[in-house]
Structure 1
Amino acid sequence: MLDLDNTALVVIDVQGKLAELMHQKESLFENLARLIQGAQILEMPIILTEQYPKGLGRTIDALSSLMPAVTPVEKITFSCCANPDFSEVLRGLHRKQLLVCGIETHICVYQTTMDLLTAGYEVHIVSDAVSSRSAHNKQLGLERMKSAGAVLTGTEMALFELLHIAQGEKFKQISKLVK
């Protein structure tokens, strides 16, 4: 089970023109927005990465506008973990459970997940908040990560799992968010 005090959200490379090429991009963007807003309601730390922003562009406005206080970690490596800045930010959070979302499932999300698992993190892939340019590559990435030990979850499932209880102001806000 996810524990709010031990969980952080990692949003990987949802940038520019590449983001527009993703399989089922509309539902991807909606779920990413819900996940980010839910993390904020729950006061969960968020790490945002951008793969070579000079070439691929910045995080899409629909998401970056939701996280004005989050500074993206720029990288050129496919795995976020191969970037010293990302590793430093992650270590500083002192969280061992990570909700991972973003693009592309079979490249950056996959390689990051493999490195996180090797480093001893519990990785939960938000399967409706990741994508690739093709459904096949998304599915392949999900299968490989699951077989390596990552847990597959969904946006709504993860947010309610983090809540643990159906009462209070945060529950009301999350309930409204997922409707």
Structure 2
Amino acid sequence: MKNRLLFSALLLTSSLTTLPAAWAGDPHPKKMPPKAAAATPPNYLEKLTPQNSVLVMVDFLTGFDPGLKTIDKSLYNNNVTALAKLGKLFKLPTLVIGDEGGFRGKFYPALAQYLPDAPRIERHTVSAWQEPKFVEAVKKTGRKKLILAGISIDNCTTHLALDALKAGYEVYVVTDCSGSNEKLVEEAAMMRLTQAGAVMTSWVSLGSELLGDWKKPEGATLGQIYQEHSAWGGFYSGYTAEVGKK
């Protein structure tokens, strides 16, 4: 019995001397690399202003109209025209993405009428962020808040938004100036964009946010835009007139 106990003790001692370093304790442990500093989160609580925002119009071309099934075409034209007017009113740096011709058709008339000086940037990539000229144009503005709208929200608009978010920009998508071929597809795109960190908004909400105070000089003009393009038009027209008397 004593011999068996002695033999077992010898086996145990032998096995301990051959344990892997991970079990026995490494006398020279490797230093773990320092953790990377956390990226600064987007500041979505900071309001959009004419001084911190860039308007990006994605593929507003007549050739894409047949694929627009999630919003009435006349209402869509109304909303896009209103958005273009907002860009003009608040003097937002504006970039127009797309190229005319062939199956693409022509740019929407509102772009030429209200944003005639906005650069037109052609690209052959799904995401305009993969086009160096576009990225350079955005960087030149020195602004970090991008207001996006376009056809289709689930394709070119989504992929541009995701790339811009990854690059550290804050993205706001004007939902009623965007569209797709199916409601379910549109909703899935908005969910994905929201999960990635983008903010959904509307052109009326955008206009009010950019204005901030109806007593500003732009207040009367914004009220006129609402009157022409929004169901709230009568209210805002009366309100701006009332504010103007005070």
Equivalent in 52, 70, 83 of residue 6 of structure 1: 52
Residue 126 of structure 2 is matched in structure 1 by 78
- Pair member with larger Rg: 2
Q: What secondary structure is seen at the aligned counterpart in 1 of 2:115? A: coil
Q: What secondary structure is seen at the aligned counterpart in 2 of 1:98? A: strand
Distance 1:53 1:96 in 2: 32
Contact 1:50 1:58 in 2 (8 A): no
Q: What secondary structure is seen at the aligned counterpart in 2 of 1:128? A: helix
Q: Give the 4+ runs in structure 1 shifted more than 4 A.
A: 51-54
* Root-mean-square deviation over aligned CA pairs: 1.5
Equivalent in 50, 57, 63 of residue 17 of structure 1: 63
Question: In percent, how many aligned pairs have the same letter?
Answer: 25
Give me the TM-score of the superposition, normalised by structure 1. Answer: 0.93
Contact 2:58 2:96 in 1 (8 A): yes
The residue type equivalent to 1:49 in the other structure is: I
Contact 2:55 2:93 in 1 (8 A): yes
Superposed CA deviations along residues 62-117 of structure 1, whole A, max 9, x for unmatched, are 43332222231011111110011111111111110111101100000000000010
* Structure 2: runs of 5+ lacking an equivalent: 1-46, 228-246
Residue 39 of structure 1 is matched in structure 2 by 87
Distance 1:82 1:66 in 2: 27
Distance 1:126 1:29 in 2: 14
Cα 1:52–1:34 change in 2 (3 A) is closer
Distance 1:26 1:45 in 2: 26
Distance 1:43 1:62 in 2: 15
Q: What secondary structure is seen at the aligned counterpart in 1 of 2:51? A: helix
Contact 1:35 1:155 in 2 (8 A): yes
Whose strand fraction is larger, Structure 1's or Structure 2's?
Answer: 1
Superposed CA deviations along residues 15-69 of structure 1, whole A, max 9, x for unmatched, are 1221243122222221111111111111111110005754412312243332222
Distance 1:81 1:109 in 2: 10
- The number of residues matched between the two structures is 179
Contact 1:51 1:77 in 2 (8 A): no
Correspondences of 1:22-171 after superposition (within 5 Å): 22-23=68-69, 24=71, 25-50=73-98, 53-171=101-219
Distance 1:85 1:114 in 2: 18
Contact 2:61 2:100 in 1 (8 A): no
Residue 177 of structure 1 is matched in structure 2 by 225
